[in-house]
A and B are shown apart, each in its own frame.
Chain A
Amino acid sequence: MTSFISIQQRSSHVFLSITWLSAVVLGQAITEPVVVNFLGDYCLECHDAETAKADFALDPLPFDFAKPSTVDVWQKVLEKLETGEMPPKKKPRPQPKAKQVVSDWIRAEFAKADVPALIDHKMKSPEFGNHLNHEMLFNGSQKEPASSPPRLWRLSPFIYDQMIEGLGGLRHVRAVHQPFALEESKGVISDFSDGQFAGDATLQLLVMNCQSIAEYQTVGISKRDHEGIMQRHRNVPDVFRPIVESDDYASAEQLRAAVHFEYKLILGREPTEAEFSQAVGYLGKAQANAGRVRGFQSMIVSIMLKPEAVYRLEVGLGKEDKFGRRRLSRNELAFALAFALTDKGPNEIRVGGNEGKTLSEITKAGGLDSPSDIRRVVKQILDENDMSTADYTMFAENHKVRNTRVLRFFRDFFGYHHAPRVFKDENRISIDSGFETKRIVHDADQFVMHIFDGDRDVFRQLLTSNKYFVAYPGSYEKFEKDLNYIRNNVNDANFKNNEKYIARLEAEGKIPIPIEGTSSRTYVKFYNLLHETWGYQTKQPFLLPENQRAGILTHPAWLIAWSGNFDNDPIRRGKWILEHLLAGTIPDVPVTVNAVVPEDRGRSLRYRLKATKSKECWNCHRKMNPLGLPFESFDDFGRFRKTEMLDEMLSIFPERHRDARTVPVKTNGEVADSGDSSLDGPVADVFELVHKLANSTRVRQSFVRHVFRFWMGRNETFEDSPTLMAADKAYIENGGSMKAMIASLLSSDSFLYRK
């Protein structure tokens, strides 16, 4: 039996050789000619044996799925078909139904050969989301009602931490180890439901933690205090006391109360009768084995280890509708919303102030049954957890930030919080760079959250605003307190210096920076502020020169996060913009390439990248370099500059480079083939670039796609198109409100329905 079909003629109807006919006669599936015709119509022009664009040829077409090389070909075809990446824009596009036949056929063949479709695995990964055709997502062609696949979403380490906090002081008494791993990649949304598992590695830790919790809630944990005296730490719920502290076995009512309590605490709901019986049954056996109290502890542990306590349920336990979709049950919805907006369960979230009802209570009473109700409550929760109604010092105090999830999105999306991880040689920066860069991350956190709180024109402001925070402790009161502390802290090693500094500035009628120690104050240099003479702004955010700063992409935190150890990184910055703002994709660096920038410091960085202009490289680099090069207006510490220093290694000490050779910085760049013709074209500098990006529909829509991914915990599919479009619309119609965008997403069919 032949395994190849030779396509001999290129035209809209394909003529097939005798070998094909005999293959059909020998019993190959009837859909094959349809598939062959389809490929002939839409693919062969560029991918025949002669042209073989991108080194990919569909002629001869292989059909022996036992061969890995055959499978490879069809994996590629399926991928390009299902993401809509092929045929390319200017070529005729097939009807969705015709595509479906081909993709179904390929999947059937894969199933027969026991081979997974690689595209399925790829689409689970956040890096792959952009491969879905952008135009098709926003042109309204998708008419099917949206839904998500039913799923279990493992708890994030943040939710777990929050739960442990909620139990009282357990963490101070005995180490509770984080059982859930969540890997972070710069600029990538980390918590995708598909990627998170609770398996072998987590279980051992989980069991240990649960046993600690059970002890803490019953007999307590003994630990010596700092005076060597043994103390017992416990936080025993009232309903446990009769069981743990009396010598008698518990009564039925007492048991019921205890089981209900633990279910409520851990799973946020009441147990069913069956579950209650199971718990009591287990309790009996456990107590027979190990005694009254130990057996009770074990029963508590058994509740804490239930899969529901480890995985959030988003299966769709509600009623099925006429489209075969199931809505999330009220309980599922309460949890889904709670964890979308916070790290707390719905029993812990009060809506409408401290006297308000919990999210659980609201949901149970039917208060979230309609999408408009959901939108209202979501907006209310976001408003009530604004930083503007709290103290900005929460930023510096280890994430007591409200709307933490929103901050996490910005960090995942922009990646600026990685700045401390980019190592700059000590000689160049001389202060502990990790510490200083942490300060600029706080400044960036405040920048983004302030804009979010203001909730007007959010996206545009993120990209263009020059209202920055620098060393702002959160309020005027806090500033005064900090400054007074520095004035009076005679024990500080830098006290004399601090005294002089404060005196000098006040003599000039300026306000001193409320930071102890000269070397710590130097970090304001990253903003082109002279730490020795800059008059601190007590009212923040304040304006930095608009020809120096515009938006988060010109913030030292973002610039440093996306820089190398010695230089800027125009290529990665360009790639970031391409992938995050232009919904673009770029293939991986080819294996054969050793992508290293030449060390020759006698030339500008722009010049040193010229190797990327060679024929084999430019095809990909033209999509990245021209986007990243305008950021050469900043050095790799994020300082604005008009000239670039040559020969020497740049440090933040200008006095070291007085005689250095410099060249003027070339700031031009280009947006090429973005998919938005109003966007394409040259840009004179980074400011023109960010303003153009901020005004572009495509860029805004790309942002919407990433917001979707974060809050849905998965990549978008074509079915989600109405959801994306509605979220975009909600944003625009509410004056550029990201809160409205989030509310729209969390009340969408994609969020509420499972199929």
Chain B
Amino acid sequence: MKPHKSSLNRRQALKNLSGCIAAPLLMPFANRLTAEARGELPRRFLFVIKSSGLTPAELVPKDLIAEYIRPGEEKGWPNELKQSDKLIDLPLTNRDLPESLEPLNPFKDQLTILQGLSGKMCRGGHSAWYGALGCYYTGNEGNPGRAAFATIDGALANALPAIFPHVGLTLGGKVLSGVKDSVVYPGISALGPDRPLPYQANPAMAYQDLFGVAVTGSKSKSEQSLQTLLLDHMVGDIKRFQRELGSADKEKLNHYLGAFEGLQDRRRKLKGLEAEIRNSVPEISDKFSSEVETDRLESHFDIAAAALVSGITNVATVRADTLDVTYRGLGISKHVHGLGHAESVNGMTPNEARNRIRRFHMEQIGRVAAKLTSVPEGTGTMLDHTLIVYLSDAAEKHHGSCTEWPFLLLGGLGQAKAASGRYLQYPSYGKKGQRTIGNLYNTFMEYAGKPQDQFGRLDLNIDEELQQGPLPELIS
């Protein structure tokens, strides 16, 4: 992919987005009904990205464990998935999900457990940073490096425009940090070259950002018009300032100007929809301002679900934790980093602690899925047109090697109505028929109506042809 000029032209991007206003996919709630009547259906994605690796062995259905798993190399470390020469594609009917995935049982029919993809074009270690969702090498121990291309959530945000192009929610900042309390740039998502996406760590703030206008906006008509007046005035003021300053640090002022224009834009689009949106807005409770990590995460999932259901966004990413987070709410006294290093923890093995955390994540995903199934859409429900993607930015283990990169896919988007869920394991790295995460992201782009041949960078050590296009097994 050819690198693009890195000038931050937010206003240009905004113009591109505005150009899509006529497109049927920009559909806040009210419009969705008409679009549905026309036979066009929405598409939405929720990415849930955890730190410290997603353990492949813990995703294997119970009856397959004996055959597919072997003990880990080092004592105390998780079990490992055996290498496979061939493609494994088994239905989940009559199979028991592994323990930590049990909360997904009600949605087993729409679950795909996806193993065996590699991502060796990315950096391994504590985090692949933008690479995990973007398929390229970037960053070092402490820093994300440069966002060279859009990550998959950014690319989907561009492809499925909405009032809020992307909603990012997180507990922590960069991978080694702990819980944060405001806007952060975790370095895992980007809208395009040099355009990292911000995440909000404080649920109460996220609530205000996303739903504030809808909840308080229609307090009075004069309030509305005052806000509009203010924003218009500021845009004029900044433009005047830019002219006075000439070329000095244009980018920064463009950024600031773009932010105001973005606010204006969102307000225009939200106009008249406040009532509908308010129906989907989560209850704001003490949980939102809680200091307890699990409360915060629950709040974030509530917000993500509401954002998707109300239609104010089509793409959301929840960064479920960072390495310095401790799940005290689950009775675990060690932070994720320690668990990843198989350090001891009170009353349970590190692996048990990791399983407990994963189960908690599944409970949250289950809650989102339940909300989506409760809303009819087209001939089915919202979940049929959604894909929830669960992965880790450290691939398969705490210091990921990226040789295998497990995913959980939940939802009906892109699939013909499946009879059952799936356990899908691709041939291992170096074996015939192997595939990469680039193929997977090509698949997602195809689901979004924008099929493409290559996502991010290629793994130069394996056949180029194999890395082109989507995963045929996931295209129906």
Contact = CB atoms under 8 A, between A and B. Distances in A.
Contacts of B381: none
B74 A599 contact: yes
Contacts of A294: 222, 226
A203 interface: yes
Nearest to A185: B142
Given A152-B248, A426-B333, 8 more contacts: A68-B1, A116-B5, A116-B6, A152-B249, A199-B198, A203-B256, A315-B245, A423-B337
A315 B143 contact: no
Interface in A414-440: 421, 423, 425-427
B230 A423 contact: no
Interface in B222-244: 222-223, 225-226, 229-230, 233-234, 237-238, 241
A564 B57 CA distance: 28
Contacts of B245: 315
Contacts of B223: 290
Interface stretch (A1-9, A173-181, A612-620): A173-181
Contact of A591 (B124, B341, B343): B124
Contact of B202 (A177, A565, A754): A177
5 contacts: A152-B248, A204-B263, A286-B230, A306-B234, A421-B324
A589 B140 contact: yes
Nearest to B10: A199
Complex A-B, nearest 9 residue pairs according to Cβ-Cβ distance, in ascending order: A201-B198, A150-B248, A203-B259, A201-B183, A185-B142, A290-B226, A152-B249, A116-B6, A290-B222
B125 A421 contact: no
A754 B248 CA distance: 10
Nearest to B397: A594
Contacts, number: 167
B255 A116 contact: no
A289 interface: yes
B229 A285 contact: yes
Interface stretch (A297-305, A507-515, A655-663): A297-305
B349 to A, nearest CB: 14
Interface stretch (B31-39, B173-181, B271-279): B173-181
A566 B222 CA distance: 62
Contacts of A426: 333
Given A198-B255, A205-B205, A289 B249 contact: no
A754 B198 CA distance: 31
B42 interface: no
A183 B185 contact: yes
Contacts of A596: 399
Contacts of A588: 140
B259 A200 contact: yes
Contacts of B202: 177
A197 B252 contact: yes
A745 B141 CA distance: 32
B20 interface: no
Interface residue tally on B, bucketed by range: 35 or more
B51 interface: no
Interface string B310-349: 0000000000000010000000011101100101100000
Most buried by A among B143, B200, B226: B226
B3 A311 contact: no
Interface in B170-228: 173-174, 177-178, 181-185, 194, 198, 200, 202, 205, 208-209, 212, 222-223, 225-226
Contacts of A201: 183, 198, 200
Nearest to A418: B176
Most buried by A among B5, B125, B256, B324: B256
A378 B173 CA distance: 36
A549 interface: no
B338 A203 contact: no
Given A152-B249, A178-B182, A306 B237 contact: yes
A421 B178 contact: yes
Interface in A579-618: 588-589, 591, 594-596, 599
B259 A199 contact: yes
A412 to B, nearest CB: 13
B174 A183 contact: yes
A534 to B, nearest CB: 31
A121 B251 CA distance: 13
B187 to A, nearest CB: 9
Interface in A138-193: 150-152, 154, 177-179, 181, 183, 185-186, 188
B259 A198 contact: yes
Contact of B241 (A121, A150, A289, A307): A307
Contacts of B230: 286, 298, 301-302, 305
A205 B182 contact: yes
Contacts of B50: none
A202 B248 contact: no
A427 B256 contact: no
Contacts of A339: none
B238 A565 contact: no
B259 A423 contact: no
Nearest to A282: B233
B168 to A, nearest CB: 9
B350 to A, nearest CB: 11
Nearest to B180: A181
Nearest to B198: A201
A694 interface: no
A602 B322 CA distance: 32
Contact of B252 (A152, A186, A594): A152
A127 interface: yes
Contacts of B338: 423, 425, 565
Contacts of A290: 222-223, 225-226
B423 interface: no
Contacts of B74: 599
A198 B198 CA distance: 11
A557 interface: no
B256 A183 contact: no
A596 B238 CA distance: 51
Contact of B184 (A183, A306, A754): A183
B6 A289 contact: no
A198 B183 CA distance: 11
Nearest to B257: A307
Nearest to B222: A290
B142 A181 contact: no
Nearest to A126: B143
A286 to B, nearest CB: 6
B2 interface: yes
A515 to B, nearest CB: 25
A333 B53 CA distance: 49
A310 interface: yes
A31 B469 CA distance: 42
Interface in A291-338: 291, 294-295, 298, 301-302, 305-308, 310-311, 315
A157 to B, nearest CB: 8
A58 interface: no
A307 B256 CA distance: 8
B401 interface: yes
A205 B140 contact: no
Given A115-B3, A121-B146, A565-B343, A200 B198 contact: yes
B400 to A, nearest CB: 9
A306 B5 CA distance: 29
A208 interface: yes
Contact of A198 (B3, B146, B256, B335): B256
